[in-house]
Amino acid sequence: MNQNIPESWKEIIGPELEKTYFWEIKNVLTREIAWWKIIYPHPQNIFAAFEKTKRQNLKVVILGQDPYHGAWQAHWLSFSVQDGIKIPPSLKNIYKEIKNEYPDFEIPNSWNLEHWSEQWVLLLNSVLTVEAWKPASHAKIWWSVFTDSIIQKISQSTEWTIFILWGNFAKSKKVLIDSSKHYILESPHPSPFSAHSWFFGNGHFKKVNEILASQKKEKIKW
């Protein structure tokens, strides 16, 4: 596992790496790899979301649950997939909503959301790894303890960050966020099972840019 944490995140992430629970995470992953299990994303990319988005410039945090479990789908960014991979239904619905809000938006051929990260949008899954073809297979190996701590520390150390919580799982993380100094946007999840229950029409992409404009910050080019 690559633990080369970017400088801007060391203060937040570094202490967690020394805790007993994190050693348990490492032991589980090491054991599963030794048993020839396929783990997504590649262990060298587990923390890549933090490499793409510096904490000092953080604008938005979009919380996901765990990585896609299909062959080569899993990216190190929540909801994103790497180039050349078939678009998952949730991501397709995300792009549909952007199109609804911005009619001139052209849905791209690439489903890789790194260009969001480069604009200081942290795409963070609660669980950072998964065994191939086994959804939620790593949900109980302490990853949520790690990411809950990160969310809470982001809340404590930044101001007026926009947190986007889609679905009940993400909404459960609201207790970690200080709503007196941050923006919290909530709606149903973009999955096909709930997108028509007000994910479509939530207006979140425009709302983010309206908030950023009020802060005199550059808008996100979705």
196-207 tens-digit pLDDT:
989 999 999 999
Residue 219 within a domain? no
What pLDDT score does 2 carry?
A: 55
What is the amino acid identity at position 70?
A: G
CATH of the domain at 32: 3.40.470.10
86-108 tens-digit pLDDT:
889 999 999 999 999 999 999 88
Residue 220 within a domain? no
Query: Over 70: is that where the pLDDT of 181 sits?
Result: yes
Residue 131 within a domain? yes
What pLDDT score does 3 carry?
A: 64
What is the torsion angle, in degrees rounded to the nearest 10, for the CA atoms of residue 12, residue 117, residue 125 and residue 104?
150
Residue 1 within a domain? no
Percent of the chain with pLDDT over 70: 98
Measured from the Cβ of residue 221, the count of other Cβ atoms closer than 10 Å reads 10
As a whole number of angstroms, the distance between CA 11 and CA 5 comes to 10
**Which active-site residues does the annotation give?**
66
Tell me which H or E stretch contains 217.
none
Query: Over 60: is that where the pLDDT of 172 sits?
Result: yes
3-state secondary structure of 186: strand
Which residues lie below 8 Å from residue 198, measured CB to CB, with a gap of 6+? 187, 188
Query: Over 80: is that where the pLDDT of 70 sits?
Result: no
The candidate with the shortest Cα–Cα distance to 124, out of 89, 160, 93, 153, is 153
Query: Which residues span the domain enclosing 166?
Result: 7-214
DSSP codes of every residue in 148-168: HHHHHHHHHH-SSPEEEEEHH
